[in-house]
Chains A and B, each alone.
Chain A
Amino acid sequence: MSLSPDMFELVKSQVSSDAIARPSTTLWQDAWRRFKKNKLAMLGLAVLGILVFFSFCGPLLSQFNYFTNNLDDLYASPSWLHPFGTDDLGRDIMTRIMYGGRISLEIGLVSVIINLVLGVFYGGISGYFGGRVDNIMMRIIDIIYSVPDLIYVILLMVVLGQGGLINIMIVLGIVNWMAMARIVRGQILALREQEYVLAARTLGANTKRLLLKHLIPNTIGPIIVTVALQIPAAIFMEAFLSFIGIGIMPPLASWGSMASAGRLSIPSHPNALLFPAMAIAITMLAFNFVGDGLRDAFDPKMRK
């Protein structure tokens, strides 16, 4: 068989061989794709969704409120009217858990936003300037870190005076930022030296582009993971504060204050302790599952 030129067709390259053939996935699409595969994390996310709905929409549907005492119906057992029973002043426990959830979630969120701002700012400066500035700023953190945060929280709460939602949020916010600052600083410091940053710089990227396109997106993963794990820590800490009597003050409800009030009636009416405690435990678990899932999703290298 002989070959003639008309049997061949010239391959025209439609795409330049340098370009990536597949559409690039963004950081978020990538993380979400991995996150979806993690069953526990998805369960945690669903539980959190339910909790948010329960806490923020639940009170609208409930016929009770969190503060009205009903002295005719003290310590009611769970029933259709009061699914979780009533407490020592005849208040509906389920409604109080809804309001308490609002407060606990708000405390978690607001305090994390405060420590996010402080931590990113402090860590960012420390990591960006490096050298001496970094050294001094990190020594300061080391010193603050060597005392348990619980002790700071207690001291600050004693100084600010009792209770008060705002006080608790502020105190928990300004106590927990060191961990965030360390993580942000470590990330920025490590990323600054990476080859791809050097490459981008060599190709003529300016500082703004470097920061926005290269440094910050790569720091966001660890920041989100830290946030997801600090929210439950703040909720836990609030429960402790309420337990030793410097947290949320009655008639306001938080899960911690309800559990610690319910503690006293455990022999006869364990539901006053068990339901708020379960609310705390479920929230802790959900946030931790989501946090672990996020960590795996954003940083597959750390997966164990």
Chain B
Amino acid sequence: MVKYLIQRIASSFLVLFLVISLTFVLMHAIPGGPFSSEKVLPDAVKANIEERYHLNDPLSKQYVDYLTNIAHFDLGPTFRYAGRTVNDLIKDGMPKTAMVGLLATIIGIGGGLILGTIAALGQNKTPDIVATVLSTIGISVPSFVIATLFQYYLGYKTGWFPPVGFGELKQLVLPALALSAYPVAQVTRLMRTSMLDVLSQDYIRTARAKGIPSYLIITRHAMRNALLPVITYLGPFFAYILTGNFVVEYVFNIPGIGQFFVTSIQNRDYPTIMGITILFCTLLVVFNLLVDIAYTLVDPRIKLTTQKGA
């Protein structure tokens, strides 16, 4: 276990190093400097800007500097928000992104598990059909369309929830719902299949034969085992919550990391693009490690070992 952990952590650092290097190379492979898209600048001004952002240093030096700064958790200045650093942006945006993400995670996992279980229990009956239709919609409609429809119909038209902004708890509801639409659909489908699988097992029949009430069978015996496939989905789930935030924060005008990322792409603000990419990858790598550990805690049959070959 310890050996496995050490190996996993080492490989996580390798992944992060490669991601940083790759984003650095990509962002510097763009023809022309980051300021050349604007109107032609006087040479002196251009030289000043390049001096300010160290763009006149040799690439190798810029690369080493960037790595050193990241090791000190410094992601550098932004190009478009004068006087602000990428760290400032992240500090501003992270709590908002985290709150929407957390709520969406709760709705996503909770809603998915409940819908999936209900669907499995009433297989091929009305609840199953309703759950299947809902999850099919969640998977086949782009998130920005879902977010827009929620915003307009549940926010603007009915006035149930505030359609834009961030601040009150009420304003979190629509973004979180929109963000969780796709993961709810996925979790529902997963949970339904795995629940059906478990319910047909012999030990469930044994429990029934022993006269255990069915709510206990479902919560104690079936759900626990049915959860396992869902846990493996948590990695992609979290990745979706992070990247799905790009859309949701943009639509609902929440000044979180996702919105900064989208605007930085539109503005070609390279340090911000790099910084947020690196932040997201770090979060993901850490989360995936946690999921793997959680998996062993839930399922005693799985032991973490150093994998050989495949």
Task: Using CB atoms and an 8 Å cutoff, list the residues of chain A in contact with chain B.
Answer: 134-135, 138, 143, 146-148, 150-151, 154-156, 158-159, 161, 186, 189, 236, 239-240, 243-246, 256, 259-260, 263, 266-267, 270, 273, 277, 280-282, 284-285, 288, 304
Contacts and interface: CB of A to CB of B under 8 A. Distances in A.
Contact of B288 (A135, A138, A146): A146
Nearest to A160: B30
A164 to B, nearest CB: 14
B148 A273 contact: yes
Contacts of A155: 22-23, 26-27, 273, 277
Given A148-B284, A159-B29, A244 B246 contact: yes
B214 interface: no
Interface string B272-305: 0100010011001100100000000000000000
A143 B19 CA distance: 9
Contacts of B148: 263, 266, 273
Contacts of B277: 151, 155
B19 to A, nearest CB: 6
Contacts of B15: 143, 146-147
B280 A151 contact: yes
Nearest to A132: B309
Contacts, number: 110
Interface centre among B240, B285, B309 (most CB of A within 10 A): B309
Counting contact residues on chain B (CB < 8 A from A), the size range is 35 or more
Interface in B9-62: 11, 14-15, 18-19, 22-23, 26-27, 29-30
B145 A273 contact: yes
B199 to A, nearest CB: 13
B160 interface: no
Contact of A266 (B27, B152, B239): B152
A270 B14 CA distance: 48
Interface centre among A158, A236, A280 (most CB of B within 10 A): A158
Chief secondary structure at chain B's binding surface? helix
Contact of A245 (B18, B145, B266): B266
Nearest to B309: A135
A284 B140 contact: yes
11 contacts: A134-B309, A146-B285, A151-B277, A155-B273, A158-B30, A161-B30, A240-B144, A259-B142, A260-B144, A277-B142, A282-B140
B70 interface: no
Interface in B153-173: 156
A277 B141 CA distance: 7
B181 interface: no
A146 B139 contact: no
B228 interface: no
A156 B273 CA distance: 12
Given A155-B277, A158-B273, A246-B265, A138 B310 contact: yes
B196 A304 contact: yes
Contacts of A186: 310
Contacts of A266: 148-149, 152
A236 B284 contact: no
Nearest to A138: B310
Nearest to B140: A284
Contacts of A151: 243, 277, 280-281
A244 B143 CA distance: 12
Contact of B26 (A159, A161, A236, A281): A159
